[in-house]
Amino acid sequence: MGDHYGSLSVTSISEPSLNGATDCEDRFEITNTFVWPSSEQLITADTTKNALFRYRVDPATGLLSDRRTLVEGYGRGLLDGSCLDAEGMVWNARVVGGACLMWMTAEGEVVDVAELRCSWPTSCAFAGPDLSTLFVTSARFTMMVDHLAMYPQEGGLFAVSPGVRGAPPNRFGQPVSADID
């Protein structure tokens, strides 16, 4: 996944040993969500802590600093994949029974919740010719027959029309000329 500078971001559950990789001093159990509201900000999550964080990104080194907790302990599910809309708002899939997308500001203020027909949404991304459709993926693994009877849509791909357009994606190797701000 690329940032505003066209750099590649990688996470690892084990200790990485990549030449030229920079390391973040914070330790995460399961890292999900990588969105850049601006060239000097990264929003990421630790799913097991049910917490969303914002970091300052040093444009010269790519190092992260000034961690700030944006959302922690939200009562519906756990944080999973996210994306940005063209207004700089964050859309977050709430996995493990959350059954919704959380829509919030880049400061962590929850604005609204979009209900879904699955209980384990895993990620979301804007697509289509004008980025006006929000696609949501969902999980189906480890689910019992009775759960699947209640939620037969588990494992599906959903198309949502949220009334806003998505931010153009950052692409690896292609720096962005302007921030969303």
Positions marked catalytic: 80
Q: Which two tokens stand for residue 50?
A: 């049910």
Residue found under tokens 């917490």:
51
Nearest Cα to 85, choosing from 112, 107, 103, 109?
A: 103
Q: How far apart are CA 31 and CA 79, in angstroms?
A: 9
Contacts of 81 (CB under 8 A, 6+ apart): 32, 33, 92, 93, 122, 123, 124, 137
Q: What is the CA radius of gyration of the chain?
A: 16
- The torsion angles phi and psi of 54, rounded to 5 degrees, stand at -120, 135
Token duo for residue 44: 């990421």
Residues 81, 33: contact at Cβ < 8 Å? Answer: yes
Contact by Cβ (8 Å): 74, 64: no
Terminal CA-CA length for the chain: 20
